[in-house]
A and B are shown apart, each in its own frame.
Chain A
């Protein structure tokens, strides 16, 4: 299991405050720094450090599914002895952006994105050809939650 990292109080405050409502103004980091009573340079250094430690993925957007192309959840039932090898084959596709093992007969779960649905089907066909395993395709029909980030 990966090591668990501790946050300083100031890091926690930063991460809890700016998972949403990131400043849309020319110098956003300066605005954030002011709220946290630190300098812009120190705040940028803190964000770089959190990135290096793997805690901050990026500053960016979460996008409503299927508004900028097509995506689907998909899964494979992989013989356990092949799981890591098949996972590497699936991860190698740039169309795959999340890929995890889970406890179930369907033990490899991944998200496929493409410009359109035909692109998704091509990616799934490529996975089937490479692995000899037939993916299930479980496209989104409705979403019920509102993404507000996650309080740490």
Chain B
């Protein structure tokens, strides 16, 4: 049932006076049960954030850089924790390398209104955390083709 609830929430909470009751009718749950399940999923950390999902691009936050570094495995967790503390770092991950095509294992997303501002913020990270000597790249976003909520369908199907 939690999967069905999360799948339903991916379509958005209804913009109606009693939205949890509406979802409950669709899933055959009471209003209280819907609220209780969302609360438990949030407290358990499965739902990380519940609220208004804003599309920053439309508000002028159009510069978006994915910065990547190739960090020795024994240093990556400490550096990731340091990176995540910067307010302009909106996402920070360790990912598996795919050698030889992709050597980078530490990822940080930086959002801003101007590319020059984002660039200087990344330079700030490189200087203050002594990351500049590591192999790294800054990948600016140039075009968004698709942005939607994750759908965890078991089977692959074509959209639309």
Whether A90 and B152, one on each chain, are in contact in the complex, defined by CB atoms closer than 8 angstroms, is no
Residue A27 at the chain B interface, CB threshold 8 Å: yes
A:119-148 near B, CB below 8 Å: 119, 122-123, 126, 136-148
Nearest chain A CB to B106's CB is how many angstroms away? 9
Whether A138 and B156, one on each chain, are in contact in the complex, defined by CB atoms closer than 8 angstroms, is no
Range for the number of chain B residues in contact with chain A: 35 or more
Whether B55 and A114, one on each chain, are in contact in the complex, defined by CB atoms closer than 8 angstroms, is no
Nearest chain B CB to A9's CB is how many angstroms away? 14
> What is the interface size of chain A, counting residues whose CB is below 8 A from a CB of the partner?
87
Whether A144 and B83, one on each chain, are in contact in the complex, defined by CB atoms closer than 8 angstroms, is yes
Whether A113 and B66, one on each chain, are in contact in the complex, defined by CB atoms closer than 8 angstroms, is no
Whether B31 and A64, one on each chain, are in contact in the complex, defined by CB atoms closer than 8 angstroms, is no
Binary contact readout B120-160 vs A (1 if CB under 8 angstroms, 0 otherwise): 00000000000000000101111111111111111111111
Closest to A110 in B: B146
Nearest chain A CB to B35's CB is how many angstroms away? 5
Contact of A19 (CB < 8 Å), options: B11, B52, B152: B52
Tell whether A67 pairs with B66 under 8 Å between CB atoms, given A14-B52, A102-B141: no
**Which of chain B's residues have a CB closer than 8 A to the CB of A115?**
152-155
Binary contact readout B78-104 vs A (1 if CB under 8 angstroms, 0 otherwise): 001101100001111111111001100
Binary contact readout A45-86 vs B (1 if CB under 8 angstroms, 0 otherwise): 001100101111111111110011101010100000000000
**Which of chain A's residues have a CB closer than 8 A to the CB of B39?**
24
**Which of chain A's residues have a CB closer than 8 A to the CB of B146?**
90-91, 96-99, 110
Whether B101 and A136, one on each chain, are in contact in the complex, defined by CB atoms closer than 8 angstroms, is yes
**Which of chain B's residues have a CB closer than 8 A to the CB of A148?**
49
What is the CA–CA distance of A71 and B153 in the complex, to the nearest angstrom?
A: 11
Tell whether A21 pairs with B51 under 8 Å between CB atoms, given A26-B20, A63-B150: yes
Binding site for B on A (CB under 8 A): 1-2, 4-5, 7, 14-15, 18-22, 24-30, 40, 44, 47-48, 51, 53-64, 67-69, 71, 73, 75, 87-88, 90-104, 106, 109-111, 113-116, 119, 122-123, 126, 136-150, 152
